[in-house]
Amino acid sequence: MVPLYPCTMKRTLGLAMLVVVLASCSSGPAAPPVAPAGEACTSALCMDVPAGWDGEVGPTHIAFNHETAPSDTFLTANAVDMESIVTAAGGSWPATTEDVVVAFWSLLEDVDEGRLIRTERMVGGAIRSWGSHSTGDMWYLLVPVDGSQGIGVEIRAPNDSWESHADLVFPSVRPSQ
Give a yes or no: residue 132 inside a domain: yes
Give a yes or no: residue 25 inside a domain: no
**Which CATH number covers residue 101?**
3.40.1000.10
- What local confidence, expressed as pLDDT, does residue 26 receive? 55
State pLDDT tens for residues 55-71: 999 999 999 999 999 99
Number of structural domains found in the chain: 1
State pLDDT tens for residues 79-133: 999 999 999 999 999 999 999 999 999 999 999 999 999 999 999 999 999 999 9
Give a yes or no: residue 82 inside a domain: yes
Give a yes or no: residue 74 inside a domain: yes
The full DSSP string for the chain is ---SHHHHHHHHHHHHHHHHHHHHH--SPPPPPP-EEEEEE-SSEEEEEETTEEEEE-SSEEEEEETTSTTT-EEEEEEEEHHHHHHHTT--SS--HHHHHHHHHHHHHHTTSEEEEEEEE-TTS-EEEEEEETTEEEEEEEEEEETTEEEEEEEEESSGGGHHHHHHHGGG-EE--
Domain holding 121, by residue range, is 35-175
Check if the beta carbon of residue 139 is closer than 8 Å to that of residue 154: yes
Least confident span in 23-27, 74-78, 155-159, 160-164:
23-27
Give a yes or no: residue 23 inside a domain: no
Is pLDDT above 50 for 43? yes
| Pairing status of strand 174-175 against strand 53-57 | unpaired
Q: List phi, psi (to 5°) of 169.
A: -70, -50
Give a yes or no: residue 49 inside a domain: yes
Give a yes or no: residue 95 inside a domain: yes
Give a yes or no: residue 5 inside a domain: no
- Confidence tier at 24 by pLDDT (50, 70, 90): very low
- The residue type of 155 is I
Give the whole-angstrom CA distance, residue 13 versus residue 87.
49
- What local confidence, expressed as pLDDT, does residue 7 receive? 42
* Residue bearing the bigger pLDDT, 37 or 174: 174
Give the whole-angstrom CA distance, residue 167 versus residue 50.
10
Please give the biggest Cα pair distance in the chain.
Answer: 74
